[in-house]
């Protein structure tokens, strides 16, 4: 799987929205069941990017995907049956780090971390 981050935008409401795509470069269909993370409360989100985390190394803080009132992530769900060579969009919304934080690490279970820059929306 190839995860591409297209943007990470901080809005005036105090949130950061990360948007990108996932592309299946493998030989068989992929479902993001492991990307939901290990937190039991997020199991309702199903195959999703609910396990994504923003890490502010300088501030020594982790920011987890936000949830709705039903406990589902504010992120793309239903990432099942992604066929070889297929690309799908995704998003995940997080609480915003302080405005002085302009770079964070994006972490997704089973994938290597990636440094991303936060732009102002």
Q: Examine the pLDDT at 43 and tell me if it is beyond 80.
A: no
CA–CA distance, 51 with 25 (Å, rounded to integer): 21
- Which residues, other chains included, contact 69 with Cβ-Cβ below 8 Å and sequence gap of 6+? none
What are the pLDDT digits (tens) for 23-35? 999 999 999 999 9
What are the pLDDT digits (tens) for 7-26? 999 998 899 999 999 999 99
Q: Looking at residue 12, what is its pLDDT? A: 86
Q: Examine the pLDDT at 41 and tell me if it is beyond 80.
A: no
CA–CA distance, 27 with 23 (Å, rounded to integer): 12
- Which residues, other chains included, contact 102 with Cβ-Cβ below 8 Å and sequence gap of 6+? 117, 118
Write down the mean pLDDT value for the chain. 93
Q: Examine the pLDDT at 44 and tell me if it is beyond 90.
A: no
Mention the CATH class of domain 2-111: mainly beta
Q: Looking at residue 59, what is its pLDDT? A: 87
What are the pLDDT digits (tens) for 54-76? 999 988 999 999 999 888 899 99
Alpha-carbon dihedral angle through residues 54, 58, 61, 65, given to the nearest 10 degrees: -10
Q: Looking at residue 83, what is its pLDDT? A: 97
């Amino acid at each position: 799987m190839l995860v591409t981050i297209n943007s990470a935008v901080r809005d005036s409401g105090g949130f950061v929205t990360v948007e990108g795509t996932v592309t299946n470069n493998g030989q068989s269909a992929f479902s993001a069941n492991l990307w939901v993370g290990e937190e039991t409360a997020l199991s309702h989100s199903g195959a999703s990017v609910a396990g994504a985390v923003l890490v502010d190394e300088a501030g020594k803080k982790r920011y987890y995907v936000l949830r709705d009132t039903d406990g589902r992530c504010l992120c793309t769900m239903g990432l099942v049956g992604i066929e070889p060579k297929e690309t799908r969009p995704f998003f995940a919304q997080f609480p915003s780090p302080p405005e002085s934080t302009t770079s964070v690490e994006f972490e997704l279970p089973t994938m290597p971390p990636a440094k991303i820059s936060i732009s102002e929306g």
